[in-house]
Amino acid sequence: MSAISHRRHHFPPVRFTDRLEAWGAASLFCGFKLLPLDCASALGGALARWIGPFLGVSKHARRNISRAFPELSETEIARVVAGMCDNLGRLAAEYPHLRKIRVFEPGGRVETHGFEHVDRAVAAGRRMIVFSGLQAPEQRSLTEAAGVAPVAPE
C-alpha cells in the first residue's frame, strides 16, 4: 500500500452561505428552463449586466483590459465588461436549453463554417486535433457531433 492511499482529504465544512448560493443557482437554472430559450437568454444577459459590474471578477476584467488596451477610455472598458457579463449571463441561461439547440439546422442559432474539412477527415478515418480557446456548449456540440472526443486541459 502506498503512502498516498493513507492520506485523508480534509475538506472545509460546507457553510450556510455556500448552501444558499447553490440553492439560488439551482433555482435560477430551473427558472431559465421554464422560459422560452430567447426569453431565458435575454433575461440571463440582463441580470448579469445588472449584477456583474459589482462582482470581483469585473474588477479583474477592468484591470486586465486597461493593461492590454491602455488606449481605451473608462467608458469603453465599462462597455466591454458589460458585454462580457451579458455573454456569460446568456450562456448560463441557455445552459438548461442545450438539448433544444440544433447545431446543424439551417437558419438555426449556431453557424458552422469549414466543417467539410472535418467531414473529409472523419470519412477517411483520420485523427484530428481540434484547438479551441473556449469550450463553449456550442463548440462541445460540434466536436461531439463529429465523433471527436474533446480533451480538457489539466
| Nearest in space to 51 (alpha carbons), one of 95, 89, 17 | 89
| pLDDT single digits (tens) 78-112 | 988 998 899 899 999 999 998 888 777 887 777 77
**What confidence score (pLDDT) does residue 13 get?**
87
What is the phi-psi region of residue 72: left when phi exceeds 0, alpha when psi lies from -120 to 50, beta otherwise?
Answer: beta
User: Quick one: how far is CA 28 from the chain centroid?
Assistant: 16
**What confidence score (pLDDT) does residue 109 get?**
77
Helix (H, G, I), strand (E, B) or coil at 90: helix
Average per-residue pLDDT in the chain? 81
- Does position 22 have pLDDT exceeding 60, yes or no? yes
| Lowest-confidence pick of 3-7, 39-43, 102-106, 118-122 | 3-7
Q: Which residue has the cell 456569460?
A: 88
Q: What predicted TM-score, i.e. pTM, was given to this entire model? A: 0.65
